[in-house]
């Protein structure tokens, strides 16, 4: 993956053959050309939950067309800036039995992004100067 500055607060995130545009909203001084990095972070969690929910439905021969996962989040007060709460709401396309609900929730609980937040990875940040890159 590579993130490339485009203009002001706008960046292009290159992932395989995909480009995701990231920016800040107008109210924060950006040009609103894409979601913020924080919105993308929360969307990644929601998309991962949707993936695991769909896989559960498919394994059990249940319809997945129309499956929705919505996400809401809040920023914590103070410093450092961080997401303090994320609420995901799963809406399966068909009514599920109590047993199926339990199974789908267990499947969603195995989401890779969720697990990475529960047991966070070590993050290394290294500065590469232009002279070092050449």
41-59 pLDDT, tens digit each: 999 999 999 999 999 999 9
Kind of pairing between the strands at 68-75 and 18-22: unpaired
pLDDT digits 0-9 by tens, 83-122: 999 999 999 999 999 999 999 999 999 999 999 999 999 9
Q: What is the pTM of this model?
A: 0.90
Which domains occur in the chain, in start order? 1-34 (no CATH), 36-121 (3.30.300.20)
Place of tokens 């232009």: 130
């Amino acid at each position: 993956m590579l993130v490339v500055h485009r203009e002001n607060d706008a960046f292009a995130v290159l992932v395989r053959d995909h480009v995701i545009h990231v920016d800040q909203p107008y109210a924060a001084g950006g040009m609103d050309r894409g979601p913020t990095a924080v919105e993308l972070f929360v969307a990644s969690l929601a998309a991962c939950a949707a993936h695991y929910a769909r896989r559960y439905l498919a394994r059990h021969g249940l319809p997945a067309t129309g499956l929705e996962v919505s996400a809401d989040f809040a920023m914590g007060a103070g410093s450092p800036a961080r997401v303090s709460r994320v609420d995901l709401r799963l809406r399966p396309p068909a009514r599920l039995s109590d047993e199926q609900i339990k199974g789908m929730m267990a499947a969603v609980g195995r989401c890779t992004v969720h697990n990475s937040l529960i047991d966070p990875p070590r993050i290394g940040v290294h500065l590469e100067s232009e002279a070092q890159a050449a």
